[in-house]
A = this chain, B = another copy of it.
Amino acid sequence: MTETADSNVRTAAPPDEAGIERLYSSELANETEFLAARTRSVGSRRANEVLASLDLKVRSYSVLSLACSGLNPSQRELAEFLFLDPSQIVALVDQLEKRGAVKRKADPRDRRSNIITPTAAGKKLYAEAAAEVQAAGESALSALSPDERNQLRDLLRRVAFADQQD
């Protein structure tokens, strides 16, 4: 929205009509859960934009990232960690495998499991993607100081990984 010269013009403007910012004072806008959802929306939108040039989305990027983590995740673990259905992991790994970024490797200890490992091309792709995602993330957090960014990340970590029971 281009806030041009008419931003100060009060053309008999009614008092209750101000613009969408007035909704910032709603109860909903003060619920942590809603704010997390909105933050995620903003973040994933930006991330998807920068990832589009690499033909990736946040989903496939997440799988690629974990495949490159050196932690040798199985598909079941990817599903559990990313809160996705195992069948969705199948599709995501299919795509990444088809383009030569990851490989399914049989787990020698449990031949039911597929361990997802990156190829050389996959590692390179991840390096590029991670750089772009991180840059976009910094941009999204530009309202916060470096200290505050660390604070936010640590608080989110504790909430995001708190529910190990249920």
Contact = CB atoms under 8 A, between A and B. Distances in A.
A36 interface: yes
Interface of A: 1-2, 4, 14-17, 20-45, 47, 58, 62, 65-66, 68-73, 77, 80-81, 83, 107, 109, 130, 133-134, 137, 140-144, 148-149, 151-153, 155-164
Chain A interface, >50% SS class: helix
Contact of A140 (B130, B144, B163): B163
Copies of this chain? 2
19 contacts: A2-B69, A14-B72, A20-B80, A20-B81, A23-B73, A27-B69, A30-B153, A31-B134, A31-B137, A32-B153, A33-B47, A36-B36, A37-B58, A38-B156, A39-B159, A42-B160, A143-B159, A144-B155, A155-B155
B39 A160 contact: yes
Nearest to A78: B23
